[in-house]
């Protein structure tokens, strides 16, 4: 098994290259930017339709008022995504362009929206049809958001623009500089739309959905969901944020399936689509990638090893809310040969059981809920309080227990033997010199940013640093964000720290901060977990980095 793990770890650079692909990252960043919209709109769905389960129905007027907020947010999701994905991809291109030749991000976002509308919106009397402006138009939004920055990069990198005299203000010059890429992009998509409607008979957005329907169907089968969630767990086991690689490829299916399930449920039909964000959050990754809720509870309540009991006790609450990095790196589970099989198998078995229940008549997910919702509660609520969902929630915990238990016993015994033999090394305490602490108290206000994939794991270290600063009487702020959200505000911070799963982005981060006063740092798994639990050491860690040690 160790030999297998070593071979897998040797492939890590290849997996990191996939994770860093600009287009996959653009989809991921675009979705992260739109998550508040998705969650906000779901609140109105819950208010409008959950009471139906208990026999209460709003009047048609009240329902229309509630659904207006949903239709004007989720109903234009593809428009929003065409802009947010284009922004992320444009930012990525700008990082590689000379300082004097940058793509106008705002212009690229606006033109991407126009390109998407050309591909997706049908003209009707008095306006535009909205059928493909929401989840149905997501695939078309990807195309518009990918192509638009590429066209802009072609013109900007070659300095092909209308050049104005030096006396003309920069904002006016920029307007003329944007004309060539803007006009070219709109013309290209206008031609594409014309050709599709002339020779195929309908728009690109409708055509691309028909093209991908077989893939959507295959992805929703037992083999498809096993490969998708098995791959997520596999990449995480290697130490790479699995969803950042897999999720962009299925994100459009996620959103579309939930909307189709909702429509089917409203019509009294079976909501039979399986693949969704809810399936990922509350079934496959029950407690976090690897379905780690049950193993965390086993560490906390069944382990004889002091180390594992401490890890389980301190990780139980975060894992309950879907933040499982403390147990991933604290046990550790990542790259631990003992847990390779259950870490990959538990999510696969979970989603196959979920599909079985759906095939037996239970509704799939009809609502999008925050991923921090406790897993079993998220499963029950997200499926519309289906009675079978309660049975499934209990069954998943039992099955995960059976899968993990033999491996837990082996690892617990091994840890106990090491503790008895005195082989468990004491962690080295991180300290700051008196001079560093004194200088920090006298210096101007400092700001630290911690980055992870979605801002949850990073908030643990950010909170620890902020707590340590408060206890030490230092004027220091610490906050957390998702990677990618920092691009335009780097100068606001003195230090940016990457959570362990974002280590593959360290070279890019160093390049981002190279021309600023900000410093960049990354962390290792066990070290990160230790720092989140000790505010004093977390503060010292940050101060030492800012001091240049």
Q: Cite the active site residues.
A: 452
Read off the tokens for 336: 């631990």
Residues 349, 229 contacting (CB under 8 angstroms):
no
Residue among 177, 183, 185 nearest 145 (CA)? 185
**Helix/strand number for the chain, H first, E second:** 24, 6
CB atoms within 10 A of CB 359: 12
Helix axis angle, 2-10 to 222-238, nearest 10° = 90
Tokens 């098994």 correspond to what residue? 1
Q: Report residue 241: phi and psi, to 5°.
A: -65, 100
CB atoms within 10 A of CB 294: 24
Q: What is the DSSP string of 500-540?
A: GGGGGGHHHHHHHHTTSS-EEEE--HHHHHHHHH-HHHHHH
Alpha carbons 143 and 161: distance in angstroms, whole number: 24
Q: What is the DSSP string of 162-214?
A: -PPPTTS-HHHHHHHHTHHHHHHHHHHHHHHHHHHHHHTSS-HHHHHHHHHHH
Alpha carbons 541 and 501: distance in angstroms, whole number: 19
Residues 116, 184 contacting (CB under 8 angstroms):
no
CB atoms within 10 A of CB 435: 9
Inter-CA distances, 186 with 81, 102, 108, 111, 116, Å? 18, 20, 11, 7, 10
Asked if the peptide bond before residue 477 counts as cis, ω within 30 degrees of 0, the response is: no
What own/partner pairs with CB < 8 Å and gap ≥ 24 does 355-358 have?
A: 355/221, 355/222, 355/225, 355/274, 357/388, 357/389, 357/391, 357/392, 358/272, 358/274
């Amino acid at each position: 098994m160790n030999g297998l793990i070593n071979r897998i770890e040797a492939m890590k650079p290849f997996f990191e290259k996939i994770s860093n692909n600009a287009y996959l990252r653009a989809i991921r960043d675009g979705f992260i930017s739109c998550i508040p919209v998705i969650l906000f709109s779901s609140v109105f769905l819950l208010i409008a339709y959950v009471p139906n389960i208990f026999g209460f129905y709003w009047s048609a007027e009240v329902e229309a008022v509630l659904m207006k907020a949903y239709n004007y947010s989720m109903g234009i999701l593809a428009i929003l995504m065409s802009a947010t994905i284009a922004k992320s991809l444009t930012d990525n291109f700008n990082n590689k362009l000379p300082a004097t030749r940058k793509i106008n991000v705002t212009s690229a976002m606006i033109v991407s929206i126009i390109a998407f509308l050309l591909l997706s919106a049908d003209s009707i009397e008095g306006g535009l049809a909205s059928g493909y402006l929401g989840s149905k138009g997501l695939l078309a939004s990807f195309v518009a958001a990918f192509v638009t920055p590429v066209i802009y990069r072609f013109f900007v990198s070659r300095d092909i623009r209308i050049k104005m005299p030096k006396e003309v203000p920069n904002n006016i010059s920029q307007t003329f500089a944007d004309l060539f890429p803007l006009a070219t992009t709109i013309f290209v998509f206008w031609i594409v739309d014309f050709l599709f409607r002339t020779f195929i008979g309908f728009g690109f957005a409708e055509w691309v959905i028909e093209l991908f329907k077989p893939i959507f169907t295959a992805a929703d089968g037992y083999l498809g969901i096993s490969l998708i969630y098995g791959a997520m767990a596999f990449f995480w086991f290697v130490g790479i944020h699995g969803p950042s690689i897999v999720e962009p490829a299925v994100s459009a299916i996620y959103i579309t399936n939930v909307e189709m399930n909702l429509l089917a449920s409203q019509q009294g039909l079976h909501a039979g689509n399986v693949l969704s964000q809810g399936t990922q959050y509350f079934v496959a990754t029950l407690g976090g990638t690897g379905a780690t809720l049950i193993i965390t509870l086993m560490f906390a309540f069944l382990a004889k090893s002091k180390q594992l009991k401490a890890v389980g006790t301190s990780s139980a609450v975060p894992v309950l809310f879907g933040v499982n990095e403390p147990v991933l790196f604290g046990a550790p589970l990542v790259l631990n040969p003992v847990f390779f099989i259950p870490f990959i198998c538990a999510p696969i078995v979970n989603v196959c059981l979920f599909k079985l229940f759906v095939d037996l008549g239970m509704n799939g997910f009809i609502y999008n809920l925050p991923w921090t919702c406790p897993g079993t509660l998220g499963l029950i609520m997200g499926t519309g309080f289906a009675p079978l969902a309660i049975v499934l929630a209990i069954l998943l915990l039992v099955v995960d227990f059976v899968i993990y238990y033999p491996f837990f016993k082996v690892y617990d015994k091994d840890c106990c033997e090491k503790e008895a033999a005195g082989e468990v090394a004491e962690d080295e305490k991180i300290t700051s010199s008196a001079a560093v602490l004194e200088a920090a108290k006298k210096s101007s206000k400092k700001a630290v940013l911690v980055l992870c994939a979605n801002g949850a794991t990073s908030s643990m270290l950010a909170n620890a640093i902020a707590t340590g600063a408060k206890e030490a009487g230092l004027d220091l702020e610490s906050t957390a964000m998702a990677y990618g959200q920092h691009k335009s505000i780097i100068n606001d911070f003195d230090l940016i720290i990457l959570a362990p799963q974002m280590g593959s982005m360290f070279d890019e981060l160093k390049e981002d901060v190279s021309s600023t006063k900000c410093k960049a740092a990354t962390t290792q798994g066990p070290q990160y977990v230790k720092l989140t639990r000790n505010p004093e050491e977390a503060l010292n860690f940050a101060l030492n980095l800012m001091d240049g040690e």
